[in-house]
Amino acid sequence: MSFLKLEHIHHTYFTKTSATTALSDISLEVEEGEFISFLGPSGCGKTTLLSIIAGLFQPTEGTILLENRSVNKSKKKIGYMLQQDYLFPWKTIEENILLGLKIFGIEDSAKKEYAFSLLEEMGLKGYEKQYPKQLSGGMRQRVALVRTLVTEPKLLMLDEPFSALDYQTKLRLEDLVSETLKSFGKTAILVTHDIGEAIAMSDRIYLFSARPGQIHQSFEVPKVLRELSPFQARNHEIYTQLFQEIWKELESLE
């Protein structure tokens, strides 16, 4: 039995003038502790799929089971990180990271303690009373990560969380996120259009083709790479080979 199971997911968006099929027959399984990437050109429905897994809306057809239960009932087990940090500008860093607990109504001192320890781990101790606009982009995205982790989700959704950052910050944050998720044994799904990022961070990569979004092929990342940090993985020779392989497949899609 797998941790997350998607069976024949179809999704169609309706507008007055058209019906667009965003996803067609997506089936996949994810084991606990795995790091999965959805890679593909824009418009292949990656983000739609992520939102469906997160239970933000229902697919037109198909079922999603998280630990054998429907996702709507297990919302608290899922954390979601967006392209930009979307920290609330009128809340302090402290209020921002405690937001999830507040919504759940479980704002006790032990959980708060945990939140602050996470913040410290991310190297952001002492910023609790500041407002988001006082922090740099990388710092804000780290705060967003803390906000997501505070509620202790079992499954983490990362929707291109590094795409708005500069390259250096992005590399550093990849390492940090990868290390953090590994140490907590979290299952994660990363949506990205960056082949390198997908290879460096994940255990398995699903390559999507567009219009309608379908799984074109899946790639297992070799064990050697998986054991390295994203930054080190990028310098390994197998990384380059896999990059070429995926690149060719992506080219053939267009």
Partner 1 sequence: MNNNQPVELLHKNYIKKLTYEKRWVRFYQFIIFFVFFLGWEISSKKQWIDPLIFSAPSKVWDLFIKKIQDGTLFVDLGYTLSETVLGFILGTLLGTILAAILWWSPFLSKVLDPYLVILNAMPKVALGPILIVALGPSMTSIIAMGAIISVIITTIVVYTAFKEVDPNYIKVLQTFGATRSQCFKEAILPACFPTIISTLKVNVGLSWVGVIVGEFLVSSKGLGYMIIYGFQVFNFTLVLLSLLVIAVFATIMYQLVELLERKLIKSN
Rounded least distance, CB 211 to partner 1, Å? 24
Q: How far apart, in whole angstroms, are the C-alpha atoms of residue 191 and residue 213?
A: 13
What is the token pair recorded at 242? 């896999």
- For partner 1, which is the closer residue by CB, 76 or 193? 76
Give the 3-state secondary structure of residue 157. strand
The sign of the CA dihedral 192, 158, 202, 48 is: negative
Smallest gap from Cβ 93 to partner 1, in A, equals 11
CB of 249 to partner 1, least distance (A): 31
Q: How far apart are CA 68 and CA 40, in angstroms?
A: 28
**Residue 170, Cβ neighbours under 10 Å: how many?**
19
Tokens 């994940």 belong to: 202
CB of 141 or CB of 151, closer to partner 1: 151
Q: How many angstroms separate the CA atoms of 177 and 42, rounded?
A: 24
Residues engaged in binding partner 1 (CB under 8 A): 54, 56, 75-76, 78-80, 82, 84, 86, 88-92, 99-100, 102-104, 131, 133, 151, 157
Instruction: Write down the least CB distance from residue 131 to partner 1, Å.
Output: 5
Min dist CB 55 to partner 1, Å, is: 8
Q: Name which of 150 and 201 has its Cβ closer to partner 1.
A: 150
Minimum distance, C-beta of residue 66 to partner 1, in the bound complex (Å): 14
CB closer to partner 1 out of 56 and 228? 56
Measured distance CA(114)–CA(76) in Å, rounded: 17
User: 49 vs 12, 67, 87, 160, 238, CA distance in Å?
Assistant: 11, 18, 23, 13, 29
Residue with tokens 């992506």: 250
Of 75 and 216, nearer to partner 1 (C-beta) is 75
Return the number of the residue (2 or 84) whose C-beta is nearest partner 1. 84
- Return all residues near 103 (Cβ < 8 A) that are at least 6 apart: none
